[in-house]
Amino acid sequence: MSRIRLLVGLGNPGPEYSQTRHNAGFWLVEQFARSHGHQLQPDSKFFGNTTRIQQGALDLRVLQPMQFMNRSGNAVALLAHFYKILPEEILVAYDELDLPAGVAKFKTGGGTGGHNGIKDIVARLGSQNFHRLRIGIGHPGDKSKVTGWVLGKAPAHEQQLMDDTITEACRSIDLLLQQDMRAAQQHLHSFKAQREK
């Protein structure tokens, strides 16, 4: 059984951002909490919305940092330190420009890929050794268009691809929690393969 004790979803707070691609991590943790009969509630001491899912041997905290993306690490570090959660017991879900919409991939450690939320988490935790779930949002094709792209709303067909992927990613996280990373990765991989048929 995996030792993930904290699931984090990255995004920007506020209704003007709620439907933007940059909030894919928010969508995931909201859906994951719902699938377990929970809802994220504001918790001012951690600067975010949180819930705790306990089922059998599972004891998982879920966090949505409610400061802006480039300050996400503050909430993550505060909660992790408070509950003595190690970086390798954390899974962070976020939007990924380098993957097309409809694809999600797990990754452990490594660089930040230029993602401001991940950069801040690495800086605040003092470690890169946390797990990541990268949710593809596609790339606009030109560096100068990236900001408008991530803070823009996806067209309906793209949004549907992301929604379907997030549903499967939530199932993968369940597999990760019940079994291991390999089972979770295989589930996402077989979902992608089926979709490409």
12 is in an annotated binding site: no
Supply φ then ψ for residue 80, to 5 degrees. Answer: -65, -45
DSSP string, 49-68: EEEEEEETTEEEEEEEE-S-
Helices and strands in the chain: count of H runs, count of E runs: 6, 7
Write out the two tokens for 132: 């990541």
Write out the two tokens for 93: 């879900």
Instruction: Tell me whether residue 38 is one of the annotated catalytic residues.
Output: no
> Can you say whether residue 16 is alpha, beta or left, with left for phi > 0 and alpha for psi between -120 and 50 degrees?
alpha
Residue 52, judged by CB atoms within 10 A of its CB (0-12, 13-18, 19+), counts as exposed
By DSSP bridging, strand 90-96 and strand 6-9 are: parallel
Contact 122, 73 (CB under 8 A): yes
17 is in an annotated binding site: yes
70 is in an annotated binding site: yes
Q: Which of 22, 115, 131, 187 is catalytic?
A: 22
Cα angle 71, 72, 73 (rounded to 5 degrees) comes to 90
Which residues contribute to the annotated binding site? Answer: 17, 68, 70, 116
Which residues contribute to the annotated binding site for tRNA? Answer: 17, 68, 70, 116
Active-site residues: which are they? 22
